[in-house]
Homo-oligomer: A and B are copies of this chain.
């Protein structure tokens, strides 16, 4: 596979205070000088994943992962094709791999940090950014291990039309829970009810949202929260005894310089309930069991996936805010190069 004389990458230019700005990232066109040493591989990036967590990586605060440095390529998971493998790697040119290349057309990565993709029956490569990737694993372990949802329980999912939310809704139904989905447009709600078969989808922008929530949910056992803010605070008033609130994300607050606080937290005492955060990386040793189950659902045709595709690496910076303003349905990805997916 030939390589070009120059390639494009996008670096962090400055840390945003609130919303991501045009000046947050900077595109660089640089001479091609990438070569894999022993234990490394050179890859050409095909697809990149855009995730709400990326907003957190821009903050210079104590977290589960160091912040992206100013001037460094923006961190991102993705799918790529091996161009050349250094000594000691079993990968060969043309292998498609799951990896964390960042916002770049080409990258040299440690061979042990890329994983060759074997597409299971009924799936496609792009599913490795969806249910068969971090998105699916986050939904799976968050709902089963943190939320411990059981058949017959009531599960509420916020950000339900998003990448993780839409997987959570479907796993919830498979486990026999009553699933109420919360999303931000009527179109998303229709998709959730019609294609994902949730019991009820509610548009949180409706002026009667609280009344609709009370009617559809009553009180919940598990709240899988991707949103935070006001909605989470309201949810704390609608908990069943021993309710579990799974904190997966807080897209309503990621961009806030002054997040809204949870004033209803005292209900956690009277309902013996809990709010618990988690990071999917902690479950790495158990990824195989989750992926096996997800693959079986894909194979039997019962698992829906939807992708919102942004064309071209240079569009990544302006696409990222879609995650916080409701612009995407399903998984938001950037198509950098290579063949199209079947969408």
Report which A residues bind B (CB closer than 8 A): 56, 62-64, 228, 232-233, 247-250, 253-254, 258-263, 265-279, 282
The reply to whether B275 and A279 form a contact with Cβ atoms under 8 Å apart is: no
Quote the shortest CB–CB distance from A259 to chain B (angstroms): 5
- Quick one: which of A233, A247, A249 has the most chain B CB within 10 A? A247
Quote the shortest CB–CB distance from A53 to chain B (angstroms): 9
Residue of B nearest to A281 (CB): B272
The reply to whether A269 and B248 form a contact with Cβ atoms under 8 Å apart is: yes
The reply to whether B282 and A277 form a contact with Cβ atoms under 8 Å apart is: no
Q: Would A266 and B278 be within 8 Å (CB), given that A64-B271, A260-B261, A261-B261 are in contact? A: no
The reply to whether B269 and A279 form a contact with Cβ atoms under 8 Å apart is: yes
30 example contacts (A-B, Cβ-Cβ < 8 A) are as follows A62-B270, A64-B271, A64-B272, A228-B265, A228-B266, A232-B265, A247-B268, A247-B269, A253-B266, A254-B266, A258-B263, A259-B266, A260-B263, A261-B261, A261-B262, A267-B277, A268-B275, A268-B276, A268-B277, A269-B278, A270-B279, A272-B276, A272-B277, A272-B278, A272-B279, A272-B282, A273-B276, A274-B276, A275-B275, A276-B276
Number of copies of this kind of chain in the complex: 2
Quote the shortest CB–CB distance from A268 to chain B (angstroms): 4
Q: Measured between alpha carbons, how far is A61 from B103 in the docked complex, in Å?
A: 51
The reply to whether A250 and B266 form a contact with Cβ atoms under 8 Å apart is: yes
The reply to whether B272 and A265 form a contact with Cβ atoms under 8 Å apart is: no
